[in-house]
Amino acid sequence: MNKDEKSIKKKEHRSLSSMIVRGTVRGCIILGIAALIMGMGFNAYSCGKQYINLACNTAGQAAVNVTQEANVVPMATRVMEIYRSLSEEERQKVGTEEYRNYFKEISSDPEFEHVLKMLKGYLDHSDVYDVYLAMYDKETTAMVYIADPEEEDTLWPGEWEPVTEKGMMKFLTWDGEGQLYDIDRTAAYGWLCTAGIPLRDESGEIVAFVLTDISLMNLWHGIRGFALNFLVMMTLLILLVSRLMSGFVRKNMVEPLSGICIAAQNYVRDRREGKKDTDHFSSLETVSGNEVEELALTMAEMERDVSEYEENLTRITAEKEKMKTELSLASRLQEAFIPHEFPAFPDRTEFDLYGIMNPAREVGGDFYDYYFVDDDHLCLVMADVSGKGVPAALFMMVVKIILQSCAMLGKSPCEILTKTNEAICPSNQQDMFVTVWVGILEISTGILTAANAGHEYPVIRHPGGDYEVLRDKHGFIIGGMEDSVYTEYQLTLEPGSSIFVYTDGVPEASDAEDNMFGMERMVDALNSDRDASPRETLENVTAAVDRFVNDAEQFDDLTMLCITYKGKNC
C-alpha cells in the first residue's frame, strides 16, 4: 500500500460516516452488555426461585406421604440412637461393611424398604437430584442419613457426611416461617440447593428431615445458554443496525456535507481571486429537512450577505458604539430600578436596613428589594437570576415586578413564590430561572415570615449573639418547574436582631488561584463587628471580599441586604 492509499484509508477511517457507525456499534455493544447482565440476573433469579420452589414442594409432598404411610419417626430415632452411641473411632469407619453392620437391623427392616420405595418414586418422577431422610447431629456437625434411594451412590442408614454449622443450624432452628432451604457448595456434589421438611415425635422434637437436593449446575447451564443466544442475536442486530446507519448517514449527512465543503472551497478560491457576487451555496440541491439543509441555506445566505456586510462595516462599527451607549443606559436604568436611597424610610425608626448590588458586567441579574405591603408589614426580597448581562437584567426586571405585584396583593411569602412561578413558567422559552428569598416582617411584633426558592441560606444574629447561618428549607427555583410547592417559616426578631441575605456571588467570590471566599469567611466578616449598623456590616463584608479576591476579575454579581430590627417603641 503506497502513501496515497494509506492517506485515503486514514481519511475514510476519520470520515463522519465511519465515526457514526463506530459510535453506533460501541453504543449497541454497551447497551447489549448491560442488557445481558440484567437478563442473566433476572434469568438466574427466576430459575433459582423455580428450583427452590421445586425442592420445597417435593420435600413437602414426600414428608406428607412418608409420615402417613410409614412409621418413620421410630426408625429415625433408632438410627440416631445407634449413631450417638458409637465412639469417634467407630464413626470414622463410615462406608465400610463393619460400620453398616451397626445399623443392619434398620436396613433389613421391611419398613425401611417401604420408605425407600416411596422416596424412590418421588426421585424418579421429579427433576430433583435426590430425595432422602436424614438428621443433623449438632455434637459432630454431621448429617446422618436414614434412608437414601439414590442407586448410584447410595448412603445407608447411619452413614454420615460433614456439614457446615451455619447450614445445619438453619434447619435445626427453623421457626416454621417461609421456605426451609440452604444453598451451599459441597466437595462431593458441587453447588446444591437443599430444601427440607422436619419430622417431629410426639413431644414436638425434630427427629429427622425429609430433604431434597437440586444441583445448581443446571442453573449455570441455563444462564450460559441464554448468554450465548443473546450474544448471537446482539451480533446480528449490531451488523444490521450498522449497515442501515451507514447507508442512512451517507445519504442524509455525508453526501450533503461533502457538497457544502466543495462549495466552501470554491467560494474561498473565488474570494481570493477577487470575484464577487458568487452563487456557490445557492446552487446546492440539499433537501433533507434537517440541520444539514439548514446549514446549506445558512451558507447560501451568508454568501449573499458577505458583500453587503463589507460595504456596511463602517455602519456596523457605528452601531456597535451605539450599543455600548445603550448598554450604559441600561446599566443606569437598572441601577435606578433597584432601591438605593438610604436611609430607606427616614420616618420609620423601628428598623434600619441597607443594601448594595455590584454587577459583574455592565448589567447583572441579581437584585434586592424592599417595600411596605401595608403600614405594619415590610417585604424583603433577595434574588439571583441565572446568567449574566442584558438577558439576565431583563428577566430580573420582569421577576421583580411580578414579586412586588403579588406581595402588594397581600399574599404570604409562599404564595408570592407560587404565583410568581406560575406566571414565569408558561412563557419561559429561554429556560432561565431565578432563586429567591422572600421575607415579610411584621413591624409591630418582630415576626418574620419567610420562604426560600432555592436561594442561599440567610444569616441571622440575635441580640448579644453572633451571626449564624440559618439553614432554612428550600423550595425549587422559580421558572424551573410548573406546580412547584413552597413552604414558609417564621422567626421572631427581638429588638437588636439582624438578618443578612445575599447572593452566591459573595461566598463564591474567587481569588487568582480559584479559591472561593466561602461561607466561613463571610460569617467571620459579619462577626468582625457584630453591633455595626447594616451599612457598616455590608461595608465590612465587601472589604473582606475585596481583600480576598485582590486583583482577580469579578466573576459574579455581588449583592447583599442587611436589616436590623429595633422594635416598635424605638
The pLDDT tens digits of the residues spanning 272-326 come to 777 666 676 666 666 666 666 666 667 666 766 665 665 555 566 556 665 565 5
Say whether pTM exceeds 0.85.
Answer: no
Contacts with 407 (C-beta within 8 Å, 6 or more apart), sequence order: 371, 373, 379, 416, 438, 440
At 359, the pLDDT band (50, 70, 90 cuts) reads confident
Three-state secondary-structure class, residue 437 = strand
Strand partners of residue 76? none
Span 155-165, pLDDT tens digits: 889 999 998 88
Span 119-133, pLDDT tens digits: 888 888 887 888 889
d(CA 10, CA 14): 6
Q: With contact defined as beta carbons under 8 Å apart, do 453 and 478 qualify?
A: yes
- CA distances in angstroms from 541 to 147, 464, 531, listed in the order given: 87, 20, 14
Residue 224 has pLDDT above 80, yes or no: no
Share of the chain above pLDDT 70, in %: 79
**How high is the pLDDT of residue 234?**
76
Residue 4 has pLDDT above 60, yes or no: no
Q: Mean pLDDT, to the nearest integer, of 165-194?
A: 84
**How high is the pLDDT of residue 309?**
63
Higher pLDDT among residues 129 and 88, named by residue: 88
**Concatenated DSSP letters for 107-175?**
HT-HHHHHHHHHHHHHHHTSS-SEEEEEEEETTTTEEEEEE---STT---TT-EEE--HHHHHHHHT--
Share of the chain above pLDDT 90, in %: 35
Q: Mean pLDDT, to the nearest integer, of 104-118?
A: 87
Domains defined for the chain, CATH in brackets:
70-215 (3.30.450.20), 342-565 (3.60.40.10)
**What are the cell numbers at 65?**
406421604
